[in-house]
Amino acid sequence: MYGDADFLPVVLGTNLNTYNIARSLHEAYGVRTLALGRAALRETASSAIVDVRTFPDLDEPDRVVEVLLEVAAEFPGRRRLLIANIEHYTNIVQARRAELAEHFLIPLPDPEVAAKLMTKAAFARTCEELGIPHPRTVVVPADEAAREGFGEDLPFDFPVICKPSDTDTYPRLRFAGKQKVYEVADPAELRAVAARMHAAGYDGELIVQELLAGDESVMQVVNTYSDRHGRLRVCSAAQIVLGEYDPQYLGNYNAVVTIEDPALTSAIRHLLESIGYRGAANVDVMVDQRTGEAKLLEVNLRQGAASYYTTAAGANIARCYVEDLVHERELPEIAADPEVLWVNVPYPVVRLLAPRSVRSLVRRARRKGVHHTLRYRHDRSWRRLLELARLDVRVALGYARHLRTRPGR
């Protein structure tokens, strides 16, 4: 059985974030989760708490809706909670919400609210309007990026950051030299990066931002939950202590420690409550070393892949979905515990590779224990443990392969 007599949890996706949601729900209610995706991944394989159903064509919007309506018909009589855990599925659910809302509870903001945040360009404009600290940003239409002389007249100096505004389309493209974020040294390199992205099929806006330099010590993440009334109930900030080394995944991370930052929490509250946000959000943040001010980089309309750290710190966002939307109870504001260490790699990798600037924080948090999303004492079959061992080897080899590109460790 999935869920309980009151509700059925359905997650779109089969990755680490799916296991995060399933584990958080199992910890809170002892229930199993149904996950739907294109392929089975090791993160959710051989699990006792999440059951994966795969459909190779589940990247097509019509097929997603068809499968979800079949699930609704299969499980009548309960409130069905639908959670999308990657941008592509989030966008499909938003676009087809009118068809799905009759059958599912959907913890996403209203479409007009989502439109203010869904692309990096819209997010930058919203921050500007509300006075939210964010990096100086230029939004570049596709035709502008193709003009001769593009990049010569930016209002800030090189090097700069270049990245796609559309985080749905771009991740699904494949081309040589692809990166999530590009640091470019001069206008010629900026034009070359733009040309390579457009040649691969990306035709959306580009974001060019001032570079906020630094190692993991300037990188932070925040996961939040806003209730059905638009009130911020969870705002859990964390310091990133080990980022990805692979250029394809630059900006992702594999270890964080929870922190308290009232100024950052205040800025995020102002942003989300001002626009009437509802549901979970994942906020990327960097600290400007010149001023010490935390600046918001983007908001994703879902909890992040690393957000099990919030559950480990006492702020279970998946439980908020159920209490708020299924049981329609009033949620108290929930504070996360500070100095909780979450990892997605073997702890020795974190101990060895975390930069010196955050090692004391890691050591203090380590004394309270280490929390790994996938290592759950209620889900430890031998097949499951074998899958986790394979994941550990893969991630450790990945760091070893890219170690030479990361000097100063």
Instruction: Check whether residue 310 and residue 385 sit in a common domain.
Output: yes
pLDDT in tens, the chain (409 residues): 899 999 999 999 999 999 999 999 999 999 999 999 999 999 999 999 999 999 999 999 999 999 999 999 999 999 999 999 988 999 999 999 999 999 999 999 999 999 999 888 899 999 999 999 999 999 899 888 878 889 998 999 999 999 998 878 888 899 988 988 899 999 999 999 999 999 999 999 999 999 998 889 999 999 999 999 999 999 999 999 999 988 777 778 999 999 999 999 999 999 999 999 999 999 999 999 999 999 999 999 999 999 999 999 999 999 999 999 999 999 999 999 999 999 999 999 999 999 999 999 999 999 999 999 999 999 999 999 999 999 999 999 999 998 876 644 4
Q: Does some domain include residue 236?
A: yes
* In a domain? residue 34: yes
Residues 254 and 284 in one domain: yes
292, 368: one domain: yes
Q: Are residues 203 and 234 in the same domain?
A: no
CB neighbour class for 198 (10 Å; exposed up to 12, middle 13-18, buried from 19): middle
264 and 353 part of one domain:
yes
Residues 37 and 66 in one domain: yes
Q: How far is CA 276 from CA 94, 111, 117, in A?
A: 16, 11, 12
Asked if the structure places residue 112 within a domain, the reply is no
Choose one of 106, 127, 161: the last residue of a domain: 106
- Domain-terminating residue out of 187, 210, 233: 210
Residue 125 located in a structural domain: no
Q: Is the dihedral of CA 301, 307, 308, 311 positive or negative?
A: negative
In a domain, 98, yes or no: yes
Structure confidence at residue 6 (pLDDT): 94
241 and 165 in a common domain: no
Token pair for residue 348?
A: 């020795």
Sort 270 into a burial class: Cβ within 10 Å, 0-12 / 13-18 / 19+. middle
Q: Which domain holds residue 81?
A: 7-106
Token couple for 192 = 């070359």
Residue keyed to tokens 């990361």 = 406
Relative orientation angle of helices 262-275 and 120-130, to the nearest 10 degrees: 100
Instruction: Look at the block and give the residue holding tokens 């001032």.
Output: 210
Closest by CA position to 257, among listed 187, 341, 179, 332: 341
Shortest CA distance to 26 belongs to which of 382, 330, 332, 380? 380
User: Are residues 394 and 285 both part of a single domain?
Assistant: yes
Cβ 287 vs Cβ 263: under 8 Å: no
Q: Are residues 178 and 220 in the same domain?
A: no
How many beta carbons lie within 10 A of that of residue 24, not counting itself?
24
Question: What is the model's pLDDT at position 407?
Answer: 47
Residue 62 in any domain: the answer is yes
Does 124 reside within a domain?
Answer: no
For residue 405, the model assigns a pLDDT of 63
What's the CATH code of the domain at 311?
A: 3.30.470.20
Q: From residue 104, how far is each of 53, 131, 189, 387, 391 by CA, in Å?
A: 18, 36, 47, 32, 33
Q: What CATH number does the domain containing 47 carry?
A: 3.40.50.20
Structure confidence at residue 406 (pLDDT): 61
